[in-house]
Amino acid sequence: MATSQQLEAIKGAKVLMVGAGGIGCELLKTLALSGFTDVHIIDMDTIEVSNLNRQFLFRQSHVGQSKAKVARDSVLRFRPNMSITPYHANVKDPDFNVEFFKQFNVVLNGLDNLDARRHVNRLCLAADVPLVESGTTGFLGQVTVHVKGKTECYECRPKPAPKTYPVCTITSTPSKFVHCIVWAKDLLFAKLFGDKTQENDLNVRSGGAASSSEQPEDVFERKKGEDIHEYGRRIYDHVFGYNIELALSNEETWKNRQRPRPIYSKDALPDQPAKPNGNFESSNSSEDPSSLSAMAALGMKNPQEVWSLSENSRIFLEALKLLFEKRAKDIGNLSFDKDDQLAVEFVTAAANIRASSFGIPLHSLFEAKGVAGNIVHAVATTNAIIAGLIVIEAIKVLQNDAKNYRMTYCLEHPSRKMLLMPVEPFEQDKACYVCSETPLTLEINTKKSMLRDFVEKIVKAKLGMNLPLVMNGSALLYEVGDDLDEDMVANYAANIEKVLCELPAPVTNGTIVTVEDLQQELTCNINIKHREEFDEEKEPDGMLLLGWNQAPPVEKDNNHVVNGVSTSAELPSEEVVDDVDMEISKVAPVKKRKVLDTPVDVNDKKKVEEVNDDDEDEDIIMLEGNNPEYGKKRKLI
């Protein structure tokens, strides 16, 4: 039972929830049943069929509706006197600024991506509002508390860098099925159905086997009046046959590698039709574009069966035909969506055909969707446990009970006979550029790199700024905003295309550049160090940011490493862990959960991994406390 002091804190609290998915549904229910009376919810997503097995506030009739709004309506049915304000919007929208955050007593995160987490962390710091973070994946989960001046902020500790694959591996020398998925999803699908103006490395080949001048026309452009079947076979023959032949012409590449096999449609598609692998009922009569299915059209219903090369070829051509014929208005604007059945079928078939060519084992649609969509199957019980822990920590925060704040890890297997492992929060990292405003150092070739490279690759991609402002001393080099006049917009547009050393206020070796995000109220100084050369394999951005807390990528040998969305010179991916044990080493058993007299060094005696996800079938990140300094600040309870 809650004490009178706890009840008073609960009833007087104004709470902001960010995320109304797997954790969010459980959290809103727990807040309501705990006596909270004023809750605001931000979530930009709509309800999907795949959510219904665990996000219990939603029903089949709610599919396509706002998660935040439906969650509110569902809870009000059993807590009608509760005030719940939903926002069907992106938490990064300008409306949700520092002033907006200041009205809340605590912010509770149930997000599914690193970028939004960082954004909320910065707004909470600027508004001086406590943040309770959380994440789950499968049986694993954690809850962490971040209070300005009392604990570390969310960005004090390194977050794993996205796993990157050199473009030559993806386009020329794949060795794993995930490489084929990256190629099919981020290159081929994007080339055929996405933004035609976006840079795409689909035609990049190793060793200069062919120059672009040999193929002056865009082979992916459908010719006027061209039959869709002819177009499909032409694309098939080009990417799986012709391109492979060109790659084979570079003998040096294949000296120590297995040579791929060119595959042409005439060889892969015998005259006999595909055999149905399940009960066939056409689903293509539906008006919902996302329900179109090449499998259904061909009478193939079992997503867990591994298709033959012939079946993959038929699915490939059928999916391409349906996309062009039934969704013609979307061509040029499509991006891969794991809940788009036709997109998943196309990517699975394309990846399998490419895998067949390179001697890589084929995968079923079910398996391929898990890789392409970064899916880690959720456990509803874990979400419920984590939601309960969030509320417990929120109540402590509302009572300003700092000495009892805990970061709690939910384990898959017992450690010291415990499935929940609480530890004291870390102290603020004095070297954190977010909460301590420590300067960073950037090694960059100031004579070759443009301001655009700096803004896109460093300010936005690594520092996570959405509305950046870049200054050299008192000179304003770049700014984003709706209130800029035409002259300023033209001036910044000109600057963005200039080499750093040729800017009106030149950026050279020793320059200190100030970058700022007015929405996040975050300012960071970056010391520029000129460097001539970079390793294209290890430093593909052509620059190196020092002092930025991001752990190196970790690559597993399983097939749960999945790709990102870039189609530029490097294809990033993030690691999905399907079954990872959080290891906390065995220390002397204790009967009571109390603070040990001597802090346990978490680096030497245990590994505490952080789950950076809720269960929205997105990427998850596992993080180890590998800095010896951290172990000195954290105690095992």
Q: How far apart are CA 123 and CA 102, in angstroms?
A: 9
E-only strand ranges, 518-619:
522-530, 543-546, 550-551, 561-563, 570-575
Active site residue 432: no
Strand partners, 545: 442
The rounded distance, in Å, linking the Cα atoms of 144 and 151 is 10
Give the integer Cα–Cα distance in Å for 427 and 599.
13
Q: What angle do CA 200, 203, 207 make, to 5 degrees?
A: 125
DSSP symbols for 416-431: TTEEEEEEPPPPPPTT
DSSP readout, 303-360?
Answer: TTSPPPHHHHHHHHHHHHHHHHHHSGGGTTT----TT-HHHHHHHHHHHHHHHHHTTP
Q: How far apart are CA 61 and CA 587, in angstroms?
A: 51
Q: What is the DSSP pairing of strand 131-137 with strand 106-109?
A: parallel
3-class DSSP state for residue 523? Answer: strand
Q: How far is CA 478 from the centre of its chain?
A: 27
* Phi, psi (deg, nearest 5) at residue 355: -60, -40
Please count the residues of the chain.
Answer: 637
Catalytic residue selected from 25, 168, 410, 432: 168
- The enclosing H or E element of 395 equals helix 380-398
By annotation, the residues acting in catalysis are: 168
